[in-house]
Amino acid sequence: MPISEKIIAQINNIDTDEEFKELMLSILAEEDKGNFRFKDTYEKLVNDYLKKKEAK
């Protein structure tokens, strides 16, 4: 199920960088899949975010 507009609105209101907000939404999207191997996926998402941050 897509992430609700309320949650997206709340995340967009957070005072942080856009990449972090994208990270939050990506994690929620993965969580919604009921992914039992969440650790590997979340680690990849976090590492990708850190790489982007470093590249900046």
Partner 1 sequence: MIRITKIEFENYRQYKSISVSFDDHSENDLHILKAKNGTGKTTFLNGILWCLYAHEHYLSDKDKALPIVNNALVQSSDEKTGLKVCVRITLSNGGETIAFERSQMFFVTVNPLTGVKSAAPGFSNLRVIVTPSGAQNTIVHEEDEIVQGFVKQYFDEAIYDYYFFDGENLKSYFSKGKSEKIKASIFNIAQVTLLSNATHHVRTMADERHRSASRLAKETGPDLIQEILLFEEKIKKLEDEIREIDAKRPALKKKYEDADASLQGYSPIRINTEKRASLERDLRALRDDYEAFKASKNEFIITYLTLLNFYPRAKATLDLIREKQDKGTLPPNIDKEQIQELLDSHAKSCPVCDGALDARAVTHLKMLLEQLDVSSATSNFLMLIKGSLEEVVETCKGFPEKYKEILQKEKYFTDEIAAKEKQADEISAFLAKYSDEKGEIDVKRLEADRQAALDDMNADDMRKALNESDIRRHKQELAHKQSEKTRREEKNAKKDLLSMQVSTLRRLTSYFELVQQAIMDEIKKDIQMQTWKRFDAMIWKKNTFGSLAINDSYELSVYNTTRNEMTGSLSATEYMALAYSFTLAIHDASGKNCPLVVDSPLGRVSDDNRANMAEELMKVSKKKQIIMLFTPDEYSDEVRALYDANAASIRNISLSDDENQVESVGE
Q: Which residues bind partner 1 (CB under 8 A)?
A: 1, 3-7, 10-11, 14, 16, 20, 23-24, 27-28, 31-32, 38-39, 42-43, 46-47, 49-50
Helix/strand/coil for 52: helix
E strand spans, the chain: none
Left if phi > 0, otherwise alpha if psi is -120 to 50, otherwise beta: which for 34? left
Q: CB–CB of 46/23 below 8 Å?
A: yes
Q: Which is nearer to partner 1, 5 or 18 (CB)?
A: 5
CB of 10 to partner 1, least distance (A): 4
Q: Which is nearer to partner 1, 39 or 56 (CB)?
A: 39
